[in-house]
Structure 1
Amino acid sequence: MVSDAWHPQVNGVVRTMEQVVRHLSAAGDEVRVIGPADFRSVPTPGYREIRLAVLPGRRLRALVDGFVPEAVHIATEGPLGWAMRRLCRQRGWGFTSSFHTRFPDYMHARTRAPLAWSWAVMRRFHAASGAVLAATGSLERELEGRGFRRVRRWSRGVELERFRPGAAEGMDDPFAGLARPVFLCAGRVAVEKNIGAFLSLDLPGTKVGVGDGPQLPALRRRHPDAVFLGFRENGALAACYAAADVFVFPSRTDTFGLVLLEALASGTPVAAFPVSGPLDVIGDAPVGALDEDLRAACLAALSADAAACRRHAEGFSWAACAARFREALVPLMAAERIS
């Protein structure tokens, strides 16, 4: 597995790959993840915590040859992804790839680069893949509509033993002294997450943000009424989910949103826009509210049943996610059959 997103990064791509590696390894497969830490790298402009490999070709070949893979999966469209794609094409190897991130939308938001150009680059990257893995039905249909071929569904899971109702019991209340209800937003604090849309809402109680990222200082200045807790992980993050009254997901560009499942597994209802990701994860289940009026969604979600939220999350399994991933893999010598 080759990915430009890997430890020490913390994001949905890394968490997904961690779980897949864990379940495949437990089943007897030998998995090697090649990431930026294996190479000389530079920080991404605007995201210093995300590093990009510099001229990885020669070392990548050595790492791949040392492992002698039977299958290759390319997780991201960054420098490592392109280098591995090039190596596979040179050797006539089949490979699979996954579409995790709407880079065309992110590039457009930052640079106003034409969307058609970015989508053309993404289409070219995945064109030689034996299977392009997409997290949701709506994303699968969108990619096919944009000319992607061999798209296959690859859903996600949630750590039910970690994210659960009552996770805050026995710990200090993460929201002690805050006015209720608490509306929580968690994740990377960056422009594409649309967190300002949440923080600008006129809501009762307290708006709380958990996470770090390049937009955090500006949002703190702009929204002094909100509480920003910074980065939280492991038990502290689970406690925040379980102690919140509503989890708010303002993103319009995420391809899935693992945080949705983490909140629901904690018994916390979700408020979001009716877009790809929330529509697929929540649909018409009584576990929150989807509305173009995000404030209305937040207030409606307050009445959702915590037990229903938990039951809904229990339908998403990391074991099934890993099994689906393995089924999609192609033999190295399958490249000549892909056209």
Structure 2
Amino acid sequence: MIPGMPARLLVVSDAWFPQVNGVVRTLSTVVDLLRAGGDTVEVIGPDRFHSLPTPGYAEIRLALAPRRRLQQLIDAFAPDAIHVATEGPLGWAARAICRRRGWRFTTSFHTRFPEYLHARTRVPVEWSWAVMRRFHAASAATLVATPSLAAEMRERRFGNIAAWSRGVDTRRFHPVTAPGAPGNPWAHLPRPVFLYAGRLAVEKNIAAFLSLDLPGSKAVVGDGPQRTALQSRFPQAHFTGRLDNGQLAAAYAGADAFVFPSRTDTFGLVLLEALASGTPVAAYPVTGPIDVIGPAPEKVGALGEDLRAACLDALAADRAACRRHAERWSWEACAARFRDTMTPARH
């Protein structure tokens, strides 16, 4: 690769369309921007292989014995640089191919699989962290989204950590439907409206939000394996299912506060989407929220181990300040940083 010259960049990811999650949104946005800048970018995901549904999460499919087919696809594309985005079957196969050939590659850490696996199966997190450490140890650089996550991974003896932050589409997410304005999707609900948006899965800790004694209403946007159980347990909450495009933007902008109850996310793109919509955030003081909300020079939400108190405190935030804070996060800078970290595959 020659700096400033177009290159052939390959991304191998177990998370790709038709999946809907933060990893796919990040990768697809970055890929589009790199292509617009002149690079030839190929993404190899599970859609090109025979696959099986993930137990308990059917919409996420895992490639079945992908190594031979993956090797053919890599050779056909002839990449200048390779990024292995995930630690699933495709990620391990790509890692093995690169190591056998003596090729360099980068990786990224998107998901706390040790905690997710423990929540579902009780497998000790130390075992899973050891596997993750082995996976990433072979890379030229492991990209992480926040300073707090980078510090944690160094404590867990990960090496070659590189910063790679995130962005938000401020044209798509903006204060189009302020609380109380005509067209607000929550106009029929008692105020204030506390909103969660994202995947409905056990690791998102959504029950911690829905269990809170809060005034007004609770709204939940999104879908996932826990939706039926949550709707049954919390019938007073308002579940919309998945929303797209303008509907999702209006849902953010129309809420009085956005509640992010997850303790295990590595970033939380929804935090920026809410802030860009002018909606303050309430969350626990953990990786993601402390990196997005914590450094804000103005009040854009509230963090605390008492999530109820944080929700009520967030209502006092300045919605214009929320928007200003979100405008500091650029997808263009995210894509440029991603490209800068990529290492030529061949010495």
Q: Which residue of 2 aligns with 1:126?
A: 136
* Mean CA deviation greater in 170-179 or 311-320: 170-179
Three-state SS of the structure 1 residue aligned to 2:252 is: helix
Q: Which residue of 2 aligns with 1:67?
A: 77
- Residues 165-189 of structure 1 show CA distances to partners (whole Å, capped at 9, x for unaligned) of 0157998432131111000000000
**Superposition deviation, residue 201 in structure 1:** 0.2
Q: 2:16 aligns with which of 6, 17, 27?
A: 6
Q: Which residue of 1 aligns with 2:199?
A: 188
Alignment partner of 1:327 is 2:337? no
Alignment partner of 1:293 is 2:303? no
Alignment partner of 1:151 is 2:151? no
* Mean CA deviation greater in 56-65 or 248-257: 56-65
Normalising by structure 1, what TM-score? 0.97
Q: Alpha carbons of 1:122 and 1:165: their partners in 2 closer, same or farther (altered >3 Å)?
A: same
Alignment partner of 1:84 is 2:94? yes
Q: Which residue of 2 aligns with 1:316?
A: 329
Q: 2:147 aligns with which of 123, 137, 144?
A: 137
Query: Superposition RMSD on alpha carbons, in Å?
Result: 1.3
Q: Which residue of 1 aligns with 2:7?
A: none
Q: 8 Å contact 1:168–1:238 — kept in the other structure?
A: no
Q: 8 Å contact 2:105–2:343 — kept in the other structure?
A: yes
Q: C-alpha distance in 2, partners of 1:212/1:304? A: 28
Q: Gaps spanning 5+ residues in structure 2: where?
A: 1-10
Alignment partner of 1:283 is 2:283? no
Alignment partner of 1:261 is 2:272? yes
Q: 2:245 aligns with which of 228, 234, 241?
A: 234
**Superposition deviation, residue 58 in structure 1:** 1.1
In percent, how many aligned pairs have the same letter?
Answer: 68
**Superposition deviation, residue 32 in structure 1:** 0.2
**Superposition deviation, residue 101 in structure 1:** 0.2
For 1:31-46, list aligned pairs within 5 A.
31-46=41-56
Three-state SS of the structure 1 residue aligned to 2:175 is: coil
Q: C-alpha distance in 1, partners of 2:327/2:251? A: 19
Q: 8 Å contact 2:177–2:183 — kept in the other structure?
A: no
Q: 8 Å contact 1:105–1:115 — kept in the other structure?
A: yes
Three-state SS of the structure 1 residue aligned to 2:259 is: strand
**Superposition deviation, residue 292 in structure 1:** 0.4
Q: Which residue of 2 aligns with 1:307?
A: 320
Q: 1:15 aligns with which of 1, 13, 25?
A: 25
Q: 8 Å contact 1:136–1:154 — kept in the other structure?
A: yes
Aligned residues: 334
Alignment partner of 1:250 is 2:254? no
* Mean CA deviation greater in 186-195 or 276-285: 276-285
Three-state SS of the structure 2 residue aligned to 1:119 is: helix
Q: C-alpha distance in 2, partners of 1:48/1:333? A: 37
The amino acid that maps onto 1:62 is: Q
Q: C-alpha distance in 2, partners of 1:328/1:104? A: 26
**Superposition deviation, residue 317 in structure 1:** 0.4
Q: 8 Å contact 2:177–2:184 — kept in the other structure?
A: no
**Superposition deviation, residue 193 in structure 1:** 0.1
Q: C-alpha distance in 2, partners of 1:268/1:16? A: 21
- Residues 28-85 of structure 1 show CA distances to partners (whole Å, capped at 9, x for unaligned) of 0000000000101111111111111001111111111111000000000000000100
Q: 8 Å contact 1:136–1:255 — kept in the other structure?
A: yes
The amino acid that maps onto 1:9 is: Q
Q: Which residue of 2 aligns with 1:337?
A: none
**Superposition deviation, residue 133 in structure 1:** 0.1
Q: C-alpha distance in 1, partners of 2:262/2:48? A: 32
Q: 2:189 aligns with which of 178, 190, 195?
A: 178
The amino acid that maps onto 2:62 is: L
Three-state SS of the structure 2 residue aligned to 1:262 is: helix
For 1:44-59, list aligned pairs within 5 A.
44-59=54-69
Three-state SS of the structure 1 residue aligned to 2:52 is: strand
Q: 8 Å contact 1:94–1:330 — kept in the other structure?
A: yes
Q: C-alpha distance in 2, partners of 1:304/1:271? A: 10
**Superposition deviation, residue 333 in structure 1:** 2.2
Q: Which residue of 1 aligns with 2:171?
A: 161
Q: 8 Å contact 1:102–1:254 — kept in the other structure?
A: yes
Three-state SS of the structure 1 residue aligned to 2:317 is: coil
Q: 8 Å contact 1:168–1:240 — kept in the other structure?
A: no
**Superposition deviation, residue 234 in structure 1:** 1.1
- Residues 83-135 of structure 1 show CA distances to partners (whole Å, capped at 9, x for unaligned) of 10010011110000000000001011111111110000000000110000000
Q: Which residue of 2 aligns with 1:218?
A: 229
Q: C-alpha distance in 2, partners of 1:288/1:35? A: 37
